[in-house]
Amino acid sequence: MTSRVVTDGERRARLATRHLLAPGLRATSAEAVADALVALHATDAATVYLSALARLAAPETAEVERALYDDRTLVRMHGMRQTLFVVPAELASVVQASTTREMWVKERGLLLKNATAAGLDAAWLERVEAETIAEVRRRGSATGAELGKTVPGLRDQVLYGKGTKWEAWQPASGRVLRVLGFDGAVVRGRPVGSWLSSQHRWEPGAGHADIPVADAQAELARRWLRAFGPATEADLKWWTGWKVTDARKALKAIGAVAVKVEADDAPAWVLPDDLDVVEAPEPWAALLPGLDPTAMGWQARTWYLADGIRPGLFDRAGNVGPTVWWNGEVVGGWAQRPDGTIVTGMSRDVGSAADKLIAAEAERWQKILGEHRVTPRFRTPMERELTEG
């Protein structure tokens, strides 16, 4: 164990600078935001945009759309913890090889099992996959419904939970496209509707990555530790969804160095070239959206999120709602009311200087969202309370 101690204050300083939240550090591109955070949560379509807008010097939804759909420098895919993320295009193969490929094996096996329960077989699945990929390539972009009109197998039904009280017939289309997405054969393209829509068209993908799993896991761990270190082995295991042995091997492969943190008796880890002390930036405030990568970046959160306010900011499944930050700590929540007004709710008195900067951030979001109305997909007690006024 090294004698280097990283205090909670320094961890908050690292968070402020590396997550582009401190004054003067906002990014000029959506790619820079995704790169700084490794991955943007995309289970809620709005989160991708809001997380980027919070960190852009010139916050425009068009900037995120450019990166996602015009330049395709950002890719939407399933990754860590079977969660949907947006990642830099150059990192997609690393995520696919380190985590998503194993999911593909399990998801495809489950689909085949349920297809067999419906009287279909492996030859059926292979045929439907090949026909679907060919049709996506031919069209260049298509919805699941459009693909179903020309790929008959997508209209077949598969049987889930055979012999149980949950037994149900489901269309094959959604499951087939999900499996092909895990394999990288297809990717999610432009949404059907506005940037707030969770329904997407499908576009051709590059296929699965031919990278050794251990190499991919080491690279993902390196990038994550650069953005989120110091962090414990348990933090890395939780964020990635890997086995503890995989997390341990990845940390060893990148030469991670153990340090001591205040909030955990277990050793935390940083990259070997990241041992210098990070000074606190100027005082700062931020309003971050639900599922923001900063709030969801660690399993152990007491150094930036007091236990007493956690119940109001998370739903029962562990999804975080919109949060108010002051100098690296969560000090409240926020919401947008039906009339568009941004409102905040504080967990404690943070002083007049903080109140002023938090109010300025609320006004900034008022201008960013304008006529748009955004309701988090996962509602939390405080968000509901603030919305209802």
Distance (Å, rounded) from C-alpha 370 to C-alpha 346?
Answer: 23
As a whole number, mean pLDDT of residues 94-100 equals 96
Residue that terminates a domain, selected from 204, 229, 263 = 204
Q: What are the φ/ψ torsions at residue 208 (nearest 5 degrees)? A: -75, 155
pLDDT above 60 for 62: yes
Confidence of residue 23 (pLDDT cuts 50, 70, 90): confident
Distances (CA, A) of 183 to 177, 199, 210: 10, 20, 11
The answer to whether residue 24 sits within a structural domain is: no
Judge whether 322 and 334 are in contact, CB under 8 Å.
yes
Judge whether 357 and 283 are in contact, CB under 8 Å.
yes
Judge whether 43 and 316 are in contact, CB under 8 Å.
no
- Give ∠ CA 340-344-345 in degrees, rounded to 5: 140
The answer to whether residue 30 sits within a structural domain is: no
Distance (Å, rounded) from C-alpha 307 to C-alpha 386?
Answer: 20
Distance (Å, rounded) from C-alpha 206 to C-alpha 93?
Answer: 9
Distance (Å, rounded) from C-alpha 275 to C-alpha 259?
Answer: 9
Residue 259's beta-bridge partner residues?
Answer: 268
| Beta carbons within 8 Å of 60's beta carbon, 6+ residues apart | 53
The answer to whether residue 74 sits within a structural domain is: no
Say which DSSP state 255 is in. Answer: T
User: Do you find a cis peptide bond into 152, omega within 30 degrees of 0?
Assistant: no
Q: Is 215 left (phi over 0), alpha (psi -120 to 50) or beta?
A: alpha
What is the domain count for the chain?
Answer: 2
Classified as helix, coil or strand, 259 is strand
The answer to whether residue 38 sits within a structural domain is: no
Share of the chain above pLDDT 70, in %: 99
Residue with structure tokens 């693909």? Answer: 147
Residue that terminates a domain, selected from 150, 173, 204 = 204
Per-residue pLDDT reduced to its tens digit, 219-264 = 999 999 999 999 999 999 999 999 999 999 999 999 999 999 997 8
The answer to whether residue 174 sits within a structural domain is: yes
Residue that terminates a domain, selected from 186, 204, 222 = 204
The answer to whether residue 217 sits within a structural domain is: no
CA 155 distance to own-chain centroid: 31
| Rg of the chain in Å (alpha carbons) | 22
Q: What is the pLDDT of residue 231?
A: 97
Single out the residue of 101, 123, 60, 42 nearest to residue 293, CA to CA.
42
pTM equals 0.94
The answer to whether residue 244 sits within a structural domain is: no
Q: What is the pLDDT of residue 306?
A: 93
Q: End-to-end alpha-carbon separation of the chain, Å?
A: 50
Distance (Å, rounded) from C-alpha 271 to C-alpha 249?
Answer: 14
Query: DSSP for 318-340?
Result: S-B--EEEETTEEEEEEEE-TTS
Per-residue pLDDT reduced to its tens digit, 131-153 = 999 999 999 999 999 999 999 99
Judge whether 34 and 223 are in contact, CB under 8 Å.
no
The answer to whether residue 19 sits within a structural domain is: no
Q: What is the pLDDT of residue 161?
A: 87
Share of the chain above pLDDT 90, in %: 93
Classified as helix, coil or strand, 187 is strand
Residue with structure tokens 């300083």? Answer: 13
Angle at which helices 244-253 and 233-240 cross, to 10°: 110
pLDDT above 60 for 180: yes
**Domain of 98?**
89-204
**Dihedral sign (CA 290, 293, 298, 302):** negative
Q: What is the pLDDT of residue 264?
A: 81
Distances (CA, A) of 241 to 43, 217, 297: 16, 11, 12
Point out the least confidently predicted range of 12-16, 30-34, 196-200, 342-346: 196-200
As a whole number, mean pLDDT of residues 24-43 equals 97
